[in-house]
Amino acid sequence: MRLLNTRTLELEVFATPEEARYAILSHTWGEGEVTFADVHQPQKGTRGWGKIRQSSEMAFNLGFPYIWIDTCCIDKTSSAELSEAINSMYQWYEKAGICIVFLEDLATTDEPTTPEFAQCRWFSRGWTLQELIAPSELLFYSKDWNLIGTRTSLKSIIAKGSSIPEEMLDINAHSQRERLDECSVAEKMSWAANRTTTRPEDLAYCLLGIFDINMPLLYGEGQVKAFKRLQEEIIRSKNDDSIYAWSYPEEKSAKQHFWGLLADDPSAFKRRHGDGVAIKRARYLTRRSNSDTTVSNRGLTVELALTPLPEDKSGTIFVALLDCDMQQEESSNALTPGIILQKTSWHNDAEFVRIRPDYLLMLLMNRIVVAGDSNGGPFAPLLERVRLSEARPRQVFVPHKLSPPRSPRGILFHPEVAVSRLPLDLGTGVLVDVLSQPSDWLFYDEMRIDRNMARELAVGSAEHHDPPGLRSTRLRTKSYVLTFDKPSDLGVTEPMILGSLELEINLSHGWNLWHVCLVTGLEPLPPNPVGTPSLYTAPWYAFVDKDKMSAGRLDDVLVKENRRKKKLLSGRLLRAHFELEARHSRLYYKVGLKAVPFGDAEDGA
């Protein structure tokens, strides 16, 4: 750390801030600033030197032999030194004996409480936020170097103009770091919402000290990447859902449909529900388990409390309740903020994207009381009338950016029936075969190891002898594959049939044969009340009688209510289910059959 001698105006080097008693200057940059190289030059008559001399004289008169000034005490030609200085700057301001604030655009006035004080350029800059909070005390000087007041004497004006609570500006309270830790991430972000920096990345870097974060600087990465890196570091070190409690104006939200959980810049945390609302840490025991949030280059895996949005026929829209409070001044009611998520795929109940970030919902007792604007938009029918079902904690993955979907290129069918929780005598003898091979289906006949016997095989190998039933573990597997000419879920605007197979179900070793045709297809989801497009189409199946299949009378199964999804088989129900399977580097809809007891809850009967 370099410090400027207040008598000689020469730089001296100290290993740590504790080795010297120093003051520190906070100011906004202008033309002719004195740099590190300029300190060693004999010419000291520029405009910037006047600021150096005046601040050094003020520090000397206050009893400080040294002063730190950001323009000349850092060698900015060294990227390593610049990175170290920015990561250490909050500590340097924190350990300074006094901070001298020079307001070069404020004239001396007998009324320091006038609006001109709070409107000074110093209050709109990003770097001065930590310079306002970190020091033990600040002295404000006008452009004529006349003392205006201290942070304590002017705290009410500063708090009103900056949205920083007065207790954060009062030196009579406990330490600043403890006070900062009590504030939520969203509240601290809101202090920077209206501030700007010259370099775009500095909008993130200037907040490192506020959040007690250290990270490498990558000038050139851009504002969005720098700010997301900052949020990822905050998530790794703090357990605070308020980092997701941001919103955008309607005009920015309308630019795209799908978003991640991280904001692009601090302005997203600007208070949009009135000046009297702040996001605080939850006051009571939280819902969260010990599950950690995992940060990857693709997105976040996080535990959120989800509840489906009422009256959503698509079944894809959920409200995620955040583990923090939205508190109004002079109100004892703590509201719970909620964001809106949309499910991304039919086969994965754990992947979502954020939608409509112009709405940051506020809930009280499982009712939406505020929806982000005066009329509630698409949530108007729900406001204070509809009670949401109890939110359940779930581990979900939210990508930073939604990747283009990989569409299945066909259907894969294995003529087998899985048996679920059936008595042994009912679970035997359920076989299935394809009666005829349609011309557009490909047939594969291959050998595989039964997965149910894999553990037994491993034990047998360890004991160096073949386990009982070894021969039965190697099964001949038949599969039928139907390949599409183009991706199956593009342009699906109404129900469509993908393919069909005529099956023979063999019950009780041939004593009971049942013929049925399995029809599979796709259909679009119903529109959701929020207005975003669907991210997938839903696969469906139906069991059709052979005579109807032969006659080609399949139009009725395009209507959802006409599909028969179950059949009674000796006290069992036959149902189909869809999965995804990769084969030959392509994704396929894998259709499987399952026999379950009649009335099994798994079947929904």
Is the residue at 78 inside a domain? yes
**Average pLDDT of every residue of the chain:** 85
> CA Rg, the chain, in Å?
34
Same domain, 421 and 379: no
* Nearest Cα residue to 242 out of 304, 322, 312: 322
Please check the confidence at residue 463 and state whether its pLDDT lies above 50. Answer: no
Q: What is the pLDDT of residues 479-492, one digit of tens each?
A: 899 988 776 666 78
Sign of the dihedral through C-alpha 446, 451, 452, 453: positive
Residue 309, pLDDT > 90, answer: yes
pLDDT of residue 329: 63
How would residue 371 be classed by pLDDT, with cut points 50, 70 and 90? confident
Residues 317 and 453 in one domain: no
Scanning the structure block, which residue is given the tokens 């005829």?
436
pLDDT surpassing 90 at residue 273 = no
Please give the Cα distance from 591 to 484 (Å, whole number).
15
Residues 334, 425 within the same domain:
no
Residues 6+ apart with CB under 8 A from 127: 197, 202, 206
For the chain, how many residues are written?
Answer: 605
Q: Establish if 266 belongs to a structural domain.
A: yes
Q: In this model, does residue 206 exceed pLDDT 50? A: yes
Last residue of a domain, one of 129, 156, 182: 182
The whole-number pLDDT of residue 595 equals 80
228 assigned to some structural domain: no
Q: Are residues 291 and 432 in the same domain?
A: no
Does residue 568 share a domain with residue 453? Answer: yes
Residue 123 in domain: yes
- Answer whether 303's CB lies under 8 Å from 289's CB: yes
Comparing 90 with 598, the larger pLDDT belongs to: 90
Q: Which of 522, 555, 524 is nearest to 541 (CA)?
A: 522
Domain contains 213: no
- Same domain, residue pair 386 and 434: no
Instruction: Judge whether residue 41 has pLDDT over 80.
Output: no
CB atoms within 10 A of CB 440: 8
The reported pLDDT for the residue numbered 424 is 45
> What total of structural domains would you count in the chain?
3
Lowest mean pLDDT among 57-61, 223-227, 517-521: 517-521
Same domain membership, residue 431 and residue 567: yes
Residue where a domain terminates, one of 351, 379, 399: 399
Whether residue 132 contacts residue 168, with contact meaning beta carbons closer than 8 Å, is answered with no
Q: What is the pLDDT of residue 369?
A: 87
Matching residue, tokens 């939280």: 286
Q: Give, as one character, the DSSP assignment of residue 535.
A: S
Examine the fold and report which residue of 182, 204, 224 is the final residue of a domain before the chain moves on.
182
**Higher confidence at residue 38 or residue 400?**
400
Tell me, rounded to whole angstroms, the distance of Cα 392 from its chain centroid.
18
Tokens of 119: 């409107």
CB 104 within 8 A of CB 37: no
Q: Is residue 363 located within the same domain as residue 419? A: no
Q: What is the pLDDT of residue 513?
A: 78
Q: Is the pLDDT of residue 571 over 80?
A: no
Q: In this predicted model, what pLDDT tens digit does every residue of 318-350 receive, in sequence order? A: 999 999 988 766 666 788 999 999 999 998 899
pLDDT at 570 over 70: no
Q: Which of 191-195, 525-529, 533-537, 596-600 shows the lowest mean pLDDT across its residues?
A: 596-600
Domain co-membership, 369 together with 454:
no
Token pair listed for 133 = 């909070």
Confidence check: pLDDT of 398 > 60: yes
- CB within 8 A of 523, min separation 6: which ones? 492, 494, 495, 496, 537, 538, 540, 558, 560
Q: Evaluate if residue 65 carries a pLDDT over 60.
A: yes
Same domain, 381 and 480: no
CA distance 209 to 91: 8
Distance (Å) of CA 470 to CA 366, 427, 475: 56, 21, 11
Please give the structure tokens belonging to residue 456.
């037994």
When pLDDT is averaged across residues 390-419 and rounded to a whole number, the result is 89
Structure tokens belonging to residue 582: 């990769």
The average pLDDT across 88-112 equals 89
Q: Is residue 405 part of a domain?
A: no
Rounded CA separation 99/469 (Å):
82
Residue of 43 and 369 predicted with greater confidence:
369
Concatenate the DSSP letters of all residues of 55-89 into one string. HHHHHHHTT-SEEE-TTTSS-TT-HHHHHHHHHHH
The range of the structural domain enclosing residue 28 comes to 2-182
Residue 417 confidence class, pLDDT cut points 50, 70, 90: confident
Indicate if the pLDDT at residue 383 is higher than 80. yes
pLDDT average, residue stretch 156-160: 90
DSSP notation for 259-287: E-SS-SSGGGGS--S-TTEEEEE-SS--S
Q: Could you tell me if 389 and 433 lie in one domain? A: no
Q: Which residue has the higher pLDDT, 428 or 10?
A: 10
Tens of pLDDT, residues 539-564: 999 988 877 777 677 778 888 888 86
Enclosing H/E stretch for 5: strand 2-5
Residue 350 domain-assigned? Answer: yes
Answer whether residue 365 is part of any domain: yes
Return the exposure string of 407-438: e unless at least 16 CB atoms fall within 10 Å of the residue's CB, then b.
ebbbbbbbbebebeebeeebeeebebebeeee
Which one has a higher pLDDT value, 75 or 465? 75
Mean pLDDT confidence for 258-285: 81
- Of the pLDDT bands very low, low, confident and very high (cuts 50, 70, 90), residue 288 is low
Calculate mean pLDDT across residues 135-139: 93
Residues 580-589, mean pLDDT to the nearest whole number: 87
Q: What is the pLDDT of residue 313?
A: 93
Alpha carbons within 13 A on the beta-carbon side of 297: 0
Q: What is the pLDDT of residue 173?
A: 52
370 and 418 both lie in a single domain: no
Cβ neighbours around 259 below 10 Å, total = 23
Q: Could you tell me the two tokens for 228?
A: 């997301």
pLDDT band at residue 244 using 50, 70 and 90 as cut-offs:
very high
Q: Is the pLDDT of residue 521 over 70?
A: yes
Model confidence at 399: pLDDT above 80: yes
Helices (H) and strands (E) in the chain, counts: 15, 28
